[in-house]
Structure 1
Amino acid sequence: MRILAIDTSNDVLGVGLVDETKVIGEYITNLKKNHSIRVMPAIERLLADCETNPSELDKIVVAGGPGSYTGVRIGVTIAKTMAWSLGIPLSNVSSLAVLAASGRYFPGLVSPLFDARRGLIYTGLYRVQGHEPVVLKEDCNIPAAQWAEILKETNEPILFIGNDINIHSETFSSVLEEKAHFAAAGEFNPRPGELGLLGISRPEENIHTFTPNYIRLVEAEAKWLERQGKMTND
């Protein structure tokens, strides 16, 4: 069984090829560049280097959000298109769960996060059991200061992980003190190979109805709905 994993949900672009026992190949960059023109060449190069024809793929796994609105949409659209055209299953894994998996050796809880601007973060709380990130608090979009106060109620050390932890580390350290731990830079990038392995056991999505998990409306949509509400109330 060969599985192609695709993650464009944030600045990190990752594609991976796995089977049930190993990561066959990975391509990862952490650059603020246009994923829409880079992801297909990355997939083509990975498959060519791994001597795998698209027709040999058995499943597509995509990081379905949360994260960058545009980034998540690009990855999901490509994953759906490939799965449909190849006639193979599509599975979805939380972008935060993929990141949390990198903290499997930490003796405590894991809080993966992506910055959502204006003091907000995308995050969740996980305990990694074996290779599986188990959700303790669902993925959410929340002010970092509020999240720190929620985590203060836990009685375990917490590992914060992700490329944006430096933006919010002072907030977490001031509230959580010695309970706050921060991953090393080598663990910041979500691994597409990890995504593929997690996706093996995930249920199949309906290709036609599956949509990304944006968690919140993008700003343009929120403003549009706000205007509509005002017009209705006038």
Structure 2
Amino acid sequence: MYVLGIEAATPVAGVAVVEDGRILAERLVNNRRTHSVNLLPMIKAVIEEAGITARQIGAVAVSSGPGSFTGLRIGLTTAKTLAWIWQVPVVGVSTLEALALPLAPQGQIICPILNARKNEVYASVFRGSSGQAELLEGPLALGIQELVQILQQWEGQVTFLGDAVPEYKQQITDLMGDRAVFAPQSALLPRGAAVAELGYRKMAGGGGVPPLELAAEYIRLSEAEVKLAARCGK
């Protein structure tokens, strides 16, 4: 089965096609253009580069959060629309799990962090095990100091990755010292291939839902929702 993976929950736009555990084609763009501009041409390209047609896609996997509210909406809308047109299931994949997956075989504690603004990050804690990322904590929206306190319950080094690393690397190092290690640039950002691979695994396990049933995992309210709640006195 061919699975199309779409990553749009962060400033990175990533798409890929996988089949039976093989990455057939992948594209990643981090050029600060909006995902609404990047995604469809990238999707068309990876399908062609995989040597298949759109009608051969058996499922669409998409990062469903946490992440940028705008990016999530664009990614989910794109994925659900394509799945509806092609009459295939759609699979929601944790953005944080997709980040952690490439490091999972190393067996260490992995902490992907995404910039949530307001001096907070979106984070989860995973342990790599047998090529899978075992969720230990999260997903959460919290400050770095609070995150470091949570990480104290596990021994050994913690590998950080994600788009929040450049902004918070020094603070993490100051708080954790040698316990904190950071993924190289090539592994720092989310990949469409990881989303597609996780989607393939979920489909093999009986996952996947009709397009209209998939919802985003926002973790916290958007700024507009916060202001609306304040006006309503909630």
TM-score of the aligned structures, taking structure 2 as reference length: 0.93
CA distance in 2, matches of 1:108, 1:191: 20
Q: Are 2:66 and 1:57 aligned? A: no
Q: Offset of 1:164 from its aligned partner?
A: 2.2
TM-score of the aligned structures, taking structure 1 as reference length: 0.93
CA distance in 2, matches of 1:17, 1:164: 27
- Structure 1 contact 152–175 (Cα < 8 Å) conserved: no
- Structure 1 contact 101–132 (Cα < 8 Å) conserved: yes
Match in the other structure for 1:222: 226
Structure 1 counterpart of 2:2, one-letter code: R
- Does the residue aligned with 2:173 lie in a helix, a strand or coil? helix
Q: Offset of 1:125 from its aligned partner?
A: 0.2
Match in the other structure for 2:11: 11
Structure 2 counterpart of 1:14, one-letter code: G
Q: Tell which deviates more after alignment, 103-112 or 177-186.
A: 103-112
CA distance in 2, matches of 1:7, 1:56: 20
Structure 1 counterpart of 2:187, one-letter code: E
Structure 2 counterpart of 1:59, one-letter code: A
Match in the other structure for 1:172: 172
Match in the other structure for 1:207: 211
CA distance in 1, matches of 2:133, 2:153: 21
Match in the other structure for 2:124: 124
Q: Are 2:142 and 1:138 aligned? A: no
| Aligned residues: CA RMSD | 1.4
Q: Offset of 1:130 from its aligned partner?
A: 2.4
CA distance in 2, matches of 1:151, 1:126: 11
CA distance in 2, matches of 1:181, 1:9: 24
CA distance in 1, matches of 2:63, 2:229: 27
Match in the other structure for 2:77: 77
Runs ≥4 residues deviating over 3 A = none
Q: C-alpha deviations, 1:88-147, integer Å up to 9, x for none?
A: 111111001000112224442000011111210011000122222110002111111111
CA distance in 1, matches of 2:128, 2:80: 28
CA distance in 2, matches of 1:132, 1:63: 17
Q: Tell which deviates more after alignment, 19-28 or 195-204.
A: 195-204
Match in the other structure for 1:27: 27
Q: Tell which deviates more after alignment, 167-176 or 52-61.
A: 167-176
Q: Could you list the runs of 5+ residues in structure 1 that have no partner in the other structure?
A: none
Match in the other structure for 1:197: 197
Match in the other structure for 2:160: 160
Match in the other structure for 2:89: 89
Q: Offset of 1:227 from its aligned partner?
A: 1.0
Match in the other structure for 2:66: 66
CA distance in 2, matches of 1:11, 1:184: 18
- Does the residue aligned with 2:156 lie in a helix, a strand or coil? coil
Cα distance, 1:3–1:107 mapped onto 2, change above 3 Å = closer
Q: C-alpha deviations, 1:157-180, integer Å up to 9, x for none?
A: 110012321211222222222211
CA distance in 1, matches of 2:100, 2:21: 20
